[in-house]
Structure 1
């Protein structure tokens, strides 16, 4: 695939008023969420739930793409239609999570590095044949009194760059996700500093590995107070700090930035995105790539009555997509 085609896909992923839904939970993570609402986690219940999400009426009005898990990209609706066909027929670009999760970083207690580079070229080739047109790799950066170390940041951004180069070689747009974790007592300024250093390291690594930014999407965490910080920054503070950090680190050639919700409440994630998009011109579109913030309310409804609440659960998914689509335009208004 040419850089022009990669760039075209990347721009479609951040089309005005549209964002990405993340339904790429591992089976273990899915089990935790299902356990929380009293659903048995089996291959069939996971398939049925993801069918509910992907067949939501009018979803393509506000969703440009969906990140799938290895199991999901191989699955079909109950009527036998592959999920990837359902998505493409509704203008939703199939994506795939390709990392293998985090593991302890040897020599650095409390820090982790994402693995999954071994055999990645062959996996990406297969995923392209299955219909994927973009991929995602998540790195995790923890904040504490002792972390993160420069070694941890550089190890993770180096892996992100290697992954991104392999994606583009196979015709997939890489979504690079260096998540600075909310958990902790750190304040807004500390989160800003760590996010800035991480993003500088990321784009230096991408440059060193000849990754074409025109065909790359950044999935970023917001600059936000730690969950147990005594002083929680307000919506405008979070939006201003996040936007300032991005402008200081992210090249203008990047097609767009999508945010992860990262444990924020549904409303907070939407409000922060909306506030950023009301803060004047930016070099790139700012949109969303939310998982729990898109799904949780629908999952609870569906769990109460899988048949009777099916339509209501899908309506909830649509409403979350609509609200975040409006926030990506800076036009959302709290109820």
Structure 2
């Protein structure tokens, strides 16, 4: 676990965050259509983002999709991560309940990614509709899959970053908060059942302004990465957390960068928009005290 802990410390160094550039080709093509861009602009778009001067001052790691990782190395000075799951698939006939997919062949894919220089991997779990009476079935299936992912990461010396609580629907914030807490408990419980060393695990959670779900996390967790619920909404940073804390940001930064690049035709404008979003997000963890390491 020494290699895992070393990489984890790098991820949480100096309050820098994690930039997610792991949007799949189909979803990214849809964004490009909305901005009247051709799909072939994907390479230029990624080059704009990854070539941003001063990027390493704000983020310590960047998440790429496996196909991008095969085509180009990550930017100098940043740890490269890879999206490990392959989306989600139907768990029940009514299509309201889903489970994260990607365990089949995962060991081979992670081994290939590690050989390409990857230091961490990201797995997104599905929590399902808030307040759903059949939600425990969803949480159990997804929690077990996430724990198996973490085992494989540790076996290969990689840091597992587990995103918890995606696809939660419903307007009742109380139910949403309870669903997030239940999802965290499920993941942590399955990590315990599979004897995973949680000091080498990062939990990434969308909590918005509600930090109550974080109280269920074990104190010896390797770290927590927070993101806002929607673009432009920064999370409320808990005071004196027992674990290292940072931010995880994706479309909240890349969408403004894409729009600035598209509207101005200037790479510099896109990069300035990206850096502006990263600087705002970084204000949180740098102001938090009490984190370990």
Q: State the TM-score, normalized to the length of structure 2.
A: 0.92
* Equivalent in 250, 274, 278 of residue 321 of structure 1: 278
Moved >4 Å (runs of 4+): none
Q: Look up the SS of the partner of 2:38 in the other structure.
A: coil
Shift of 1:330: 3.1
1:180-259 to structure 2, matched below 5 A, reads: 180-181=166-167, 183-185=169-171, 187-222=172-207, 238=209, 241-242=210-211, 244-247=212-215, 249-259=216-226
Task: Indicate conservation of the 8 Å contact 2:103/2:145, yes or no.
Answer: yes
Task: Indicate conservation of the 8 Å contact 2:128/2:135, yes or no.
Answer: no
Structure 2 alignment gaps of length 5 or more: 289-293
1:93-132 to structure 2, matched below 5 A, reads: 93-106=79-92, 109-132=95-118
Q: Look up the SS of the partner of 1:160 in the other structure.
A: helix
Give the structure 1 partner of residue 241 of structure 2: 282
Q: Look up the SS of the partner of 1:12 in the other structure.
A: helix
* Equivalent in 38, 41, 46 of residue 40 of structure 1: 38
* Equivalent in 69, 74, 79 of residue 73 of structure 1: 69
* Equivalent in 45, 48, 55 of residue 52 of structure 1: 48
Task: Indicate conservation of the 8 Å contact 2:130/2:176, yes or no.
Answer: no
Task: Indicate conservation of the 8 Å contact 1:47/1:72, yes or no.
Answer: no
Q: Look up the SS of the partner of 1:35 in the other structure.
A: helix
Structure 1 alignment gaps of length 5 or more: 77-82, 225-237
Q: Look up the SS of the partner of 1:257 in the other structure.
A: strand
CA, structure 1 residues 145+168, in 2 after alignment: closer, same or farther (shift >3 Å)? closer
Shift of 1:207: 1.2
Q: Given the alignment of the two structures, is residue 142 of structure 1 paired with residue 128 of structure 2, yes or no?
A: yes
Give the structure 2 partner of residue 235 of structure 1: none
Give the structure 2 partner of residue 27 of structure 1: 25
CA, structure 1 residues 202+11, in 2 after alignment: closer, same or farther (shift >3 Å)? same
Task: Indicate conservation of the 8 Å contact 1:111/1:147, yes or no.
Answer: no
Task: Indicate conservation of the 8 Å contact 1:68/1:95, yes or no.
Answer: yes
Give the structure 2 partner of residue 311 of structure 1: 268
Partner Cα distance (1:203, 1:216) in 2: 10
Task: Indicate conservation of the 8 Å contact 1:286/1:328, yes or no.
Answer: yes
Shift of 1:6: 0.4
Task: Indicate conservation of the 8 Å contact 2:147/2:187, yes or no.
Answer: yes
Shift of 1:107: 5.0
Partner Cα distance (2:227, 2:165) in 1: 8
Q: State the TM-score, normalized to the length of structure 1.
A: 0.81
Task: Indicate conservation of the 8 Å contact 1:261/1:292, yes or no.
Answer: no
Partner Cα distance (1:92, 1:54) in 2: 10
Shift of 1:109: 4.2
Partner Cα distance (1:145, 1:252) in 2: 27
Give the structure 1 partner of residue 151 of structure 2: 165
Shift of 1:148: 5.2
Q: How many residues align?
A: 288
Task: Indicate conservation of the 8 Å contact 2:127/2:168, yes or no.
Answer: no
Partner Cα distance (2:219, 2:136) in 1: 25
Q: Look up the SS of the partner of 1:20 in the other structure.
A: strand
Q: Look up the SS of the partner of 1:302 in the other structure.
A: helix
